[in-house]
Amino acid sequence: MAGCPAVLCGDCREIAAAHGPYDLIIAGPPYCITTLCWDRRVEGRHALAAALLKPVGSLWVFGSLRYLLADAGRFEAVGLRYAQDIVWRKANGTGFAADRFKRVHEIIVQYYRHDALWRDVYNDVQRVPATTRNKSVQLRRARTKHTGSIGGGAYHDDGTRIMKSVIEINSVRSGLHRTEKPVALLAILMRTSCPTGGLVGDFFAGSGAAGEAAALTGRRYVGCEVDPLMAAKARARLNALHNRPS
Ligand SMILES: C[S@@+](CC[C@H](N)C(=O)[O-])C[C@H]1O[C@@H](n2cnc3c(N)ncnc32)[C@H](O)[C@@H]1O
């Protein structure tokens, strides 16, 4: 485990900078869809992320399409470029409205710095065991009048496939936070986008789930949580994990 992850209590706009720059920033910001006191728009969080990312780092933001579309221009404006998006499919979703489809997914979008090249951004694309048959092939050297000679060589199936962009993991019902993200999902993002031992910044720590994922995957972690009670619960969770006999 990479040290005990830290959850700091305060507004990320005031406390995150002192601990950066970050290899990976996770942002599960308030979606502003309820009247709860913590569910308010955090102006300036886009610029904060852009300023605190390492040149080869990236940012993963959770949201609904409605929310992310409204925000798209703000990422561009601070110099963050869209990289890709994935879908977290929940087996057991939530839904406030009886006149809409039951919502069982969330979108997670990855951004990286405008001044970086995608090929330089840390990216360890995850692989999963294959569910289809073995595909090893011998490629024959091809010669066409349009392309000249191409390729040749062998492709050997190692029994794994690139992970698909729709990831199914149940919602969390720990009672710690009503929008708690699953540790398993956060661990996938960390393995993909942060080197082992690298630093993860979690601007909206909530339950501290990302701190647990960081500890399990060997990344360092700094979480910011503005609600003192929530920050204390997250800290207790991570301390318990750290002190657990292995
Ligand atoms: C959507 S929840 C995040 C849930 C978290 N990802 C988890 O897995 O438990 C948003 C959290 O951000 C906190 N928050 C809101 N504004 C904040 C700010 N300016 N700085 C730090 N935390 C903030 C809220 O108190 C809330 O706990």
Q: Are residues 176 and 217 in the same domain?
A: yes
81-85, 136-140, 161-165, 214-218: lowest mean pLDDT where? 136-140
Q: Are residues 22 and 121 in the same domain?
A: yes
CA of 230 to the centre of ligand 1 (A): 9
Pocket flag, ligand 1, residue 222 (CB < 6 Å): no
Does residue 62 lie in a domain region? yes
Picking from 77, 72, 104, the residue whose alpha carbon sits closest to that of residue 88 is: 104
Q: Are residues 106 and 158 in the same domain?
A: no
Does residue 17 lie in a domain region? yes
Q: Are residues 138 and 78 in the same domain?
A: no
Q: How far is Cα 109 from Cα 68, in angstroms, rounded to an integer?
A: 8
Tokens at 89, concatenated: 């499919």
Q: Are residues 121 and 231 in the same domain?
A: yes
Please report the pLDDT score of residue 107 as a whole number.
Answer: 96
149-153, 193-197, 213-217: lowest mean pLDDT where? 149-153
Q: Which atom of ligand 1 is nearest to the CA of 227?
A: 25
Arithmetic mean of pLDDT over the chain:
89
Does residue 1 lie in a domain region? no
CA of 199 to the centre of ligand 1 (A): 19
Q: Span 239-246, mean pLDDT?
A: 80
CA of 148 to the centre of ligand 1 (A): 56
Please report the pLDDT score of residue 41 as a whole number.
Answer: 80
Atom 18, ligand 1: which residue's CA is nearest? 11
Domain count, the chain: 2
Three-state SS for 95?
coil
Beta strand pairing call for 220-225 and 6-9: parallel
Q: Does residue 120 register a pLDDT over 50?
A: yes
CA of 89 to the centre of ligand 1 (A): 21
Helix residue spans in 78-202 (DSSP H): 183-193
**Where is the domain boundary, 162, 187, 219?**
162
Ligand 1: which of 45, 225, 238 to mutate, most ligand atoms within 8 Å of CB?
Answer: 225
Q: Are residues 118 and 153 in the same domain?
A: no
Q: What is the percentage of the chain residues whose pLDDT exceeds 90?
A: 65
Q: Are residues 71 and 122 in the same domain?
A: yes
Pocket flag, ligand 1, residue 189 (CB < 6 Å): no
236 vs 153, which has greater pLDDT? 236
- The one-letter code for the residue type at 66 is R
Q: Are residues 171 and 50 in the same domain?
A: yes
Q: How far is Cα 209 from Cα 185, in angstroms, rounded to an integer?
A: 10
Q: How far is Cα 196 from Cα 181, in angstroms, rounded to an integer?
A: 21
Please answer whether residues 40 and 32 qualify as being in contact, where contact means their C-beta atoms are separated by less than 8 angstroms. yes
Residue-wise over 53-68: b if at least 16 C-beta within 10 A, else e? Answer: bbebbbbbbbbeeebb
Q: How far is Cα 171 from Cα 28, in angstroms, rounded to an integer?
A: 14
Q: Are residues 229 and 122 in the same domain?
A: yes
Q: What is the percentage of the chain residues whose pLDDT exceeds 70?
A: 87
**Overall residue count recorded for the chain in this entry:** 246
Q: Are residues 96 and 156 in the same domain?
A: no
Domain limits at 138? 129-162
Please answer whether residues 61 and 108 qualify as being in contact, where contact means their C-beta atoms are separated by less than 8 angstroms. yes
Backbone phi, then psi, for 165, in 5-degree steps? Answer: -80, -5
151 vs 243, which has greater pLDDT? 243
Q: Which helix (H) or strand (E) holds 75?
A: helix 65-77
Q: Are residues 15 and 48 in the same domain?
A: yes
**Where is the domain boundary, 109, 137, 162?**
162
Which residue is associated with the tokens 């780092």? 57
169 vs 132, which has greater pLDDT? 169
Please report the pLDDT score of residue 1 as a whole number.
Answer: 45
Tokens at 93, concatenated: 């979703």
Ligand 1: which of 35, 68, 204 to mutate, most ligand atoms within 8 Å of CB?
Answer: 204
Picking from 70, 76, 19, the residue whose alpha carbon sits closest to that of residue 221 is: 19
Q: Are residues 55 and 153 in the same domain?
A: no
pLDDT tens-digit map of 27-76 = 999 877 667 776 778 889 999 999 999 999 999 999 988 888 988 899 99
Does residue 13 lie in a domain region? yes
**Where is the domain boundary, 112, 143, 162?**
162
Pocket flag, ligand 1, residue 234 (CB < 6 Å): no
CA of 160 to the centre of ligand 1 (A): 36
